[in-house]
């Protein structure tokens, strides 16, 4: 046996949890590879192919040998296109110098957390949360302050809760609307009420708007950066992964005051340098091209959302709210906790997700991955045929 093993790992990495989502996804992939007919509703990416005109521009970039380092913060044409997008779609004015292009929205967010968060600084995160926020804060040696929300409030936190979570150590508040995993979308009025709580404080807001285009009802996307008095403390993070079905291309961005973008660029320059040159060209064509591709995917997601909402609410032990955005549904399965299903005792949501996967071949993500035991995340980024199959299997699985 070698003397060299995990004991040599840094305290930093020991303190970071492996992504629960990736763990479950790993198990699902293995079952699929082993030949099981698994309906995989654990995925966080659109099932549509990347539109042809976007792929064509990447092929053109390769053929033209656009394959070298680019400026660290991204090519100027792309930063200009993002600046125009923000003005046109969000009524937000940012110069290209106030924008950084990163390797996915994930790197854009991680850069900002590393840029602003010092040891023991507190970062307020509403739960259920996207799995990566707390771990990014841990990597920055910060402390997470979690505000809990549940299905009865449509997974929204109140200004009162935010107020109570603030301390002299609070540095950042992370807002994610539409939300992964709940699909919850805050209205303009609700965001204004939350911002009122921190408007006179030295607290920065990371506004993760990656699902902005996937909102299905009347409610409109609103960025807190539209509140002029707040803009100097807001970092808007977004990307092309979800809107254009480009998860593998790895292009995201942040828009914020220039001093924050410059500092984020400093971190990025020492970690990865520029995002992939070819993907930057592809993202440029996504912003400049025909936007009807976004609408087409959205219409399809809306139909699936309605189907999932209706069907899941009918299943014994499940209770769900009506999610306004993203492509996830996050039902409570508290009605099943403590029960024995076909000989398997269900003590928590991980038990249920494991049972569902192993015995009924439906892949989901347990709520505790998102800080909310007693819930289950099901992605409806899959064909109607597969969704119908999954519902049928889940119904079987909960039959007593």
Q: For the CB of residue 3, give the shortest distance to ligand PLP in the complex, in Å.
A: 37
Q: For the CB of residue 392, give the shortest distance to ligand PLP in the complex, in Å.
A: 27
Q: For the CB of residue 176, give the shortest distance to ligand PLP in the complex, in Å.
A: 5
Q: Which residues contact 63 (CB under 8 A, 6 or more apart)?
A: none
Q: CB count, 10 Å around CB of 42?
A: 24
* Contact flag: residue 367 with ligand PLP (CB under 6 A): no
CA distance between the termini of the chain: 49
Q: For the CB of residue 168, give the shortest distance to ligand PLP in the complex, in Å.
A: 28
* Contact flag: residue 186 with ligand PLP (CB under 6 A): no
* Contact flag: residue 382 with ligand PLP (CB under 6 A): no
Which positions from 79 through 108 interact with ligand PLP, judged by CB under 6 A?
104-106
DSSP string, 281-329: HHHHHHHHS-THHHHHHHHHHHHHHHHHHHHHHHSTT-B-----BTTEE
Measuring CA to CA, which residue among 127, 241, 227, 108 is closest to residue 179? 127
| Cβ closest to ligand PLP, residue 154 vs residue 247 | 247
Is 139 exposed, middle or buried (CB count within 10 Å of its CB: 0-12, 13-18, 19+)? middle
| Cβ closest to ligand PLP, residue 304 vs residue 361 | 304
* Contact flag: residue 268 with ligand PLP (CB under 6 A): no
| Cβ closest to ligand PLP, residue 233 vs residue 377 | 377
- How does strand 99-102 pair with strand 252-255? antiparallel
Distance, CA of 400 to CA of 398 (rounded, Å): 6
Distance, CA of 140 to CA of 136 (rounded, Å): 6
Distance, CA of 395 to CA of 319 (rounded, Å): 13
| Cβ closest to ligand PLP, residue 297 vs residue 341 | 297
| Cβ closest to ligand PLP, residue 247 vs residue 386 | 247
* Contact flag: residue 241 with ligand PLP (CB under 6 A): yes
Q: Binding residue for ligand PLP (CB under 6 A) from 57, 127, 180, 223?
A: 180
* Contact flag: residue 176 with ligand PLP (CB under 6 A): yes
- Token pair, residue 318, equals 């499940």
Question: Where does residue 93 fall: left (phi above 0), alpha (psi -120 to 50 degrees), or beta otherwise?
Answer: beta
Please choose, out of 71-79, 85-93, 239-247, 289-297, the segment that lies near ligand PLP by the rule CB under 6 A.
239-247
| Cβ closest to ligand PLP, residue 50 vs residue 341 | 50
Q: For the CB of residue 181, give the shortest distance to ligand PLP in the complex, in Å.
A: 8
Q: For the CB of residue 245, give the shortest distance to ligand PLP in the complex, in Å.
A: 11
Helix (H/G/I), strand (E/B), else coil: 129? coil
- x/- binding map, residues 242-261, to ligand PLP, per CB under 6 A? -----x----x---------
- Kindly report the three-state secondary structure assignment for every residue of 273-287: CCCCHHHHHHHHHHH
Q: For the CB of residue 102, give the shortest distance to ligand PLP in the complex, in Å.
A: 8
- x/- binding map, residues 40-59, to ligand PLP, per CB under 6 A? ----x---------------
The residues facing 379 across adjacent strands are 328
* Contact flag: residue 208 with ligand PLP (CB under 6 A): yes
Inter-residue contact 312 to 318 (CB < 8 Å): yes
Size of the site for ligand PLP (CB under 6 A): 13
Inter-residue contact 379 to 41 (CB < 8 Å): yes
Residues that bind ligand PLP (CB under 6 A): 44, 104-106, 130, 176, 180, 208, 210, 239, 241, 247, 252
């Amino acid at each position: 046996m070698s003397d060299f093993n995990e004991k040599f790992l840094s305290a930093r990495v020991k303190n970071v949890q492996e992504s629960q989502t990736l763990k479950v996804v790993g198990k699902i992939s293995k079952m699929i590879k082993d030949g099981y007919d698994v309906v995989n509703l654990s995925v966080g990416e659109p099932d549509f192919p990347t539109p042809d005109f976007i792929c064509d521009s990447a092929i053109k970039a390769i053929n033209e040998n656009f394959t070298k380092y680019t400026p660290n913060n991204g090519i100027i044409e792309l930063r200009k296109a993002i600046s125009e997008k923000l003005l046109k779609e969000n009524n937000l004015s940012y110069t290209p110098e106030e924008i950084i292009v990163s390797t996915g929205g994930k790197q854009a967010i991680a850069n900002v957390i590393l840029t602003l968060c010092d040891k023991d600084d507190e970062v307020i995160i509403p739960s259920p949360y996207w799995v990566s926020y707390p771990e990014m804060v841990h990597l920055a040696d910060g402390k997470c302050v979690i505000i809990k929300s549940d299905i009865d409030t449509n997974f929204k936190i109140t200004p009162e809760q935010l107020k109570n979570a603030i301390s002299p150590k609070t540095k950042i508040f992370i807002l994610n609307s539409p939300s992964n995993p709940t699909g919850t979308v805050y209205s303009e009025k609700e965001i204004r009420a939350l911002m009122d709580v921190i408007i006179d404080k030295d607290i920065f807001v990371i506004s993760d708007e990656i699902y902005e285009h996937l909102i299905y009802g009347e409610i409109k996307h609103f960025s807190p950066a539209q509140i002029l008095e707040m803009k100097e403390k807001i970092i808007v993070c977004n990307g092309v992964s979800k809107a254009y079905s480009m998860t593998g291309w790895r292009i995201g961005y942040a828009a914020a005051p220039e001093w924050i973008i410059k500092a984020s660029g400093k971190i990025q320059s020492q970690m990865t340098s520029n995002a992939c040159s070819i993907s930057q060209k592809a993202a440029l064509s996504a912003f400049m091209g025909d936007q009807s591709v976004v609408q087409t995917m959205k219409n399809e997601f809306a139909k699936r959302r309605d189907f999932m909402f209706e069907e899941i609410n009918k299943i014994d032990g499940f209770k769900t709210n009506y999610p306004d955005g993203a492509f996830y549904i996050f039902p409570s399965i508290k009605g099943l906790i403590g029960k024995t299903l076909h000989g398997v005792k269900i003590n928590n949501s991980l038990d249920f997700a494991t049972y569902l996967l192993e015995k009924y071949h439906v892949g989901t993500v347990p709520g505790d991955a998102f800080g909310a035991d007693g819930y289950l995340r099901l992605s409806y980024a899959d064909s109607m045929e597969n969704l119908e199959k999954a519902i049928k299997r889940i119904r079987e699985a909960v039959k007593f």
